[in-house]
Structures are given as structure tokens and as C-alpha cells.
Chains A and B, each alone.
Chain A
Amino acid sequence: AAGVIQSPRHLIKEKRETATLKCYPIPRHDTVYWYQQGPGQDPQFLISFYEKMQSDKGSIPDRFSAQQFSDYHSELNMSSLELGDSALYFCASSLALEYTDTQYFGPGTRLTVL
């Protein structure tokens, strides 16, 4: 079965640079979520999209922005990167924006900021 695809899998950036992470949800899933997981921590919700509209926002820095495109893929743009942004970034997708729906996660993008 098709899973959530994230690219790139690994990314190394310098401080103050910009990064773009991409997420391709499971086919027919119209809801996408982004989570950030720091070392030794649990995943923290950043932002979600339903039918190309932002549906909820968590602890996402103003330096980060995201959008969902017409083909339902999503991109997380991160600017002015800081050392503390080094983390594993997960994208998840679900069939719809319902609390009953299971969120399926991609393999994650490991971002290292030097």
C-alpha cells in the first residue's frame, strides 16, 4: 500500500539559511499534518491543512510557513534557520479532518542546522 512520502530524507543547512521540506500524502487523503520531533522528545504538532486550507496551527515559529497544493502535497518552508531547528520533521496524512481518523506518518526528514 502507498505510504506518505517525504523528501528529502536528510538535509544539512547552515544557520540563517532556508530549507523546504516536501510531503506527498497517501492517495485520496486530503488532510496533511506537520510535526517536529527534537532529540529524545515526543512529536510536537506544527500545522495542518484540509482541502488546501490551513485547519490548525500549533507551536510553529513565524519563520516557518507551509501550504498545501492542488494535488494535496504540502511544503514546509523554514527560513533564518537556527541551531534549535535541528530535528526530525514528520508529515502525516489522514482521509479527512476528523478526530476519528488515523494519521499515517511519513519516514520523516532529518534536518541538521550547523
Chain B
Amino acid sequence: AQKVTQAQTEISVVEKEDVTLDCVYETRDTTYYLFWYKQPPSGELVFLIRRNSFDEQNEISGRYSWNFQKSTSSFNFTITASQVVDSAVYFCALNDYKLSFGAGTTVTVRA
């Protein structure tokens, strides 16, 4: 069975600080895809990034970057120079033809 763990329940930072969200997953599949979604206070679920299991190259996209390490089953996500609009719940998810989500991490960015 797939399992995704986000140990951080809440993170609070001041604007312009970096925020790193941890995600640890369990799967018996050898190939898989991992995702990060954002849920702002308005409630919608917004796709942010995805990563396949056979490419461990870390990437940066604007203020977002992610660190995937298959050896430790971790898929961490960083927001650089956070802004108030980044305040949201962030979900890590594993795709097995359906998404298994972690419990989510609430990020609050204070001005």
C-alpha cells in the first residue's frame, strides 16, 4: 500500500524567509510519480510540481525547488523568499492511478 507522511503540521515564517516542507513516502512500486499540491484558503487544489522516481536530479522552477532522494524515500519541497500569497496547506502525494495524499502542512507567511 502507498503511504505518504508529512511530519510537519504547521510552519510559520516571516516574509522572505525560505520554507522547506518534508515528505516521506512508502511504496512497493519501482517506478512511480510524486506530486506537490497547494490548497490556499479559498479551497481549490492547485498542482505545483511532479517528479518521477527514475530521475533524481533536483530542479528549480522560479521560487520553487525540490529535492528527491530515492534512497531515503523523501521528496522535499522548498519555497524561496516566501510571500504572504504562499500561505496555504501543501500536500505531498503519490500516484498509483489514484493519489494518496499526506496529511498536509499548513504554511503561514507573515508580513
Contacts and interface: CB of A to CB of B under 8 A. Distances in A.
Interface of A: 33, 35, 41-45, 48, 55-56, 58, 88, 90, 92, 97-108, 110
Contacts of A97: 97
B55 to A, nearest CB: 12
B91 A42 contact: yes
B47 A105 contact: yes
Contact of A48 (B31, B32, B97): B97
A107 B98 contact: no
Given A105-B45, A110-B43, A55 B99 contact: no
Contacts of A101: 95
A114 B66 CA distance: 43
By Cβ-Cβ distance, the 9 closest A-B pairs, closest first, are A42-B101, A105-B45, A45-B98, A99-B95, A107-B44, A42-B104, A99-B97, A42-B103, A43-B101
B96 interface: yes
Interface of B: 29, 31-33, 35, 37, 43-47, 50, 52, 91, 95-104
A104 B95 CA distance: 13
Contact of B32 (A58, A99, A110): A99
A100 B50 CA distance: 9
Contacts of B99: 33, 35, 43, 45, 92, 103
A103 B37 CA distance: 10
25 contacts: A33-B98, A35-B99, A42-B91, A42-B101, A42-B102, A42-B103, A42-B104, A43-B45, A43-B101, A45-B99, A48-B98, A55-B97, A56-B98, A90-B45, A92-B45, A97-B97, A99-B31, A100-B33, A100-B52, A101-B95, A104-B47, A105-B44, A105-B45, A108-B45, A110-B43
Contacts of B103: 41-42
B43 A107 contact: yes
B45 A102 contact: no
